[in-house]
Amino acid sequence: MIHFEIAIDEPDRAVKFYSEVFGWKVEKWGPVDYWLVQTGEGPGIDGALKMRERPHESTTNTVEVPSLEKYMEKVVEKGGEVISEKMTILGYGYFAYCKDTEGNVFGIIESDESAQ
């Protein structure tokens, strides 16, 4: 994946959520309702937040985090919801599905090759 778009309903709320949970840089782009997202420095996957155009429009992307438990807590603290149990992906790491403040489902994953 080289770009993502996340459907939103409340721009200020969504920008605050993603900025505070993952430290992403989010900036309005042009005269349209579109916010560019920079997920980090250098090469990587960047994307955008855009106004929801259809009732159930959403995206499902996965974000790598250094500590699954810490980020599960941060998601809840910032108004999101963890909607699955922590799952082990043998030999790869740990994963959970979450919902953001806009009702979008996303995954978080902690890499750990020794995951059993």
Among 90, 93, 104, CA closest to 51: 104
pLDDT, tens digit, 9 for 90 and up, residues 13-40: 999 999 999 999 999 998 889 999 999 8
**One digit per residue, pLDDT tens: the chain, 116 residues?**
679 999 999 999 999 999 999 999 999 998 889 999 999 887 789 999 999 988 888 888 999 999 999 999 999 999 999 999 999 999 999 999 999 999 999 999 999 999 99
Across 22-92, the runs of DSSP E, i.e. the strands, are 25-28, 34-38, 46-51, 62-64, 81-82, 87-89
Q: Interior CA angle at 26 toward 86 and 80, to 5°?
A: 30
